[in-house]
């Protein structure tokens, strides 16, 4: 980092999005909230021996009851009897990634949140941001590095591998984002002064690219299902801080598009040889944008 650079970070906060319970029939269920759908409803994944039917109810965490409204593909629409986000936060569990094969512990309440998390709505942490603490951010500010924020609520689809033979057939999950006016202005000022825009994490990068129209970053809220693959031309970001991702995922394709497939392969081979830690609680890398012809 150098004076005049701008770090852009995702300030989304992880919900207690995993809830365990049972169906009316007594069968066990595991609910993973994907996103909120109004004050009293949520879209969720449900794991059960038999899929629950619309109109049935789920009894979760011995504390609340929800109604299964409808099924939408692999997701279910659930109705809460009261404020959905407050009930999820009060009774749910921290949704650690599926490759962390243990129950959440008290330390995860802080370790799986960035220090700048503010806007509740994610079911997975924007993990590149976990490498920053308050003292490091203070050092960066003292060194003349600016900070700005976007919000992208990370969905459970971020963990899903690509299963189609052709990339064009892959259906990307949709995530909600907000780009504030202050961030648009900070990026414009940084670029005008010759500074570099540094995205902290793939979620920040997807937000900035998804909210850019004809080369111009737009203020406001929206949804993005942008699928970035090699050959994509990036509009705003010069550098990317990213953790090491699972194979065959859209995130690995995104970083390969950004830095170049050969460069990313070399980085991953180095990480394997040096026994770096991978995934959410793992190490990070700094990638430079590849120049395209």
Span 22-77, pLDDT tens digits: 998 899 999 999 888 889 999 999 999 999 999 999 999 999 999 999 998 889 99
The pLDDT of residue 74 is 84
CATH class of segment(s) 6-14+106-288: alpha beta
Q: Tokens standing for 130?
A: 């976990």
- Interatomic CA distance for residues 8 and 26, integer angstroms: 47
Lowest mean pLDDT segment, chosen from 176-190, 204-218, 246-260, 265-279: 246-260
The pLDDT of residue 249 is 80
More confident residue, 259 or 100: 259
* Dihedral sign (CA 195, 209, 148, 95): negative
Domain locations in the chain as residue ranges = 6-14+106-288, 18-91
Mean pLDDT, the chain, as a whole number?
91
- Interatomic CA distance for residues 152 and 207, integer angstroms: 7
pLDDT greater than 90 at residue 226: no
Q: Tokens standing for 256?
A: 């390969």
The pLDDT of residue 160 is 57
Q: Which residues of 80-111 are buried (b: 16+ CB within 10 A; e: fewer)?
A: beeebbebbeeebbbbbbeeeeeebeeebeee
pLDDT greater than 50 at residue 141: yes
CB count in 10 Å sphere of residue 33 = 25
- Interatomic CA distance for residues 199 and 158, integer angstroms: 17
- Interatomic CA distance for residues 272 and 279, integer angstroms: 13
Please choose, from the candidates 105, 85, 80, the residue with its C-alpha nearest in 3D space to the C-alpha of residue 93.
Answer: 105
The pLDDT of residue 170 is 45
pLDDT greater than 80 at residue 159: no
Q: Tokens standing for 15?
A: 């919900």
Q: How far is CA 164 from CA 13, 171, 202, 228, 247, in A?
A: 31, 9, 22, 16, 14
What is the CATH topology of the domain spanning 18-91?
Thrombin, subunit H (2.40.10)
Partnered with residue 287 across adjacent β-strands are 240
When computed from its CA atoms, the radius of gyration of the chain, rounded to whole angstroms, is 20
User: pLDDT over 70 for what percent of the chain?
Assistant: 94
The pLDDT of residue 175 is 85
What would the pLDDT profile of 161-188 be if each residue is shown by its tens digit? 555 555 554 455 678 999 999 999 999 9
**What pTM was estimated for this model as a whole?**
0.90
């Amino acid at each position: 980092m150098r004076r005049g650079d701008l770090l852009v970070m995702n300030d989304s906060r992880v919900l207690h999005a995993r809830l365990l319970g049972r169906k009316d029939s007594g069968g066990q269920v595991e609910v993973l909230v994907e996103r909120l759908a109004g004050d009293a409803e949520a879209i969720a994944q449900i794991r059960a021996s038999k899929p629950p039917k619309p109109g049935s109810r789920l009894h979760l965490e011995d504390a609340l009851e929800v109604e299964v409204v409808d099924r939408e593909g692999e997701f279910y629409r659930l109705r809460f009897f009261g404020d959905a986000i407050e009930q999820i936060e009060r009774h749910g569990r921290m949704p650690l990634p599926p490759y962390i094969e243990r129950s959440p512990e008290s330390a995860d309440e802080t370790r799986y949140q960035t220090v700048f998390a503010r806007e509740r709505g994610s079911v997975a942490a924007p993990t590149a941001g976990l490498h920053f603490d308050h003292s490091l951010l203070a050092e960066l500010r003292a060194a003349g590095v600016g900070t700005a924020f976007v919000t992208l609520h990370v969905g459970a689809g971020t963990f899903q591998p690509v299963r189609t033979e052709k990339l064009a057939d892959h259906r990307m999950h949709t995530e909600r984002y907000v780009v504030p006016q202050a961030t648009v202005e900070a990026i414009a000022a940084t670029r005008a002064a010759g500074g570099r825009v540094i995205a902290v994490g793939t979620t920040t990068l997807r937000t900035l690219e998804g909210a850019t129209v004809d080369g111009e970053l737009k203020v406001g809220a929206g949804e993005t299902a942008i699928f970035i693959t090699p050959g994509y031309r990036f509009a705003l970001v010069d550098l990317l801080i990213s953790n090491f991702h699972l194979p065959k995922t859209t995130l690995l394709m995104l970083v390969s598009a950004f830095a170049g497939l050969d460069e990313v392969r070399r980085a991953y081979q180095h990480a394997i040889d040096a026994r770096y830690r991978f995934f959410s609680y793992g190490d990070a890398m700094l990638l430079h944008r590849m120049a395209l012809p």
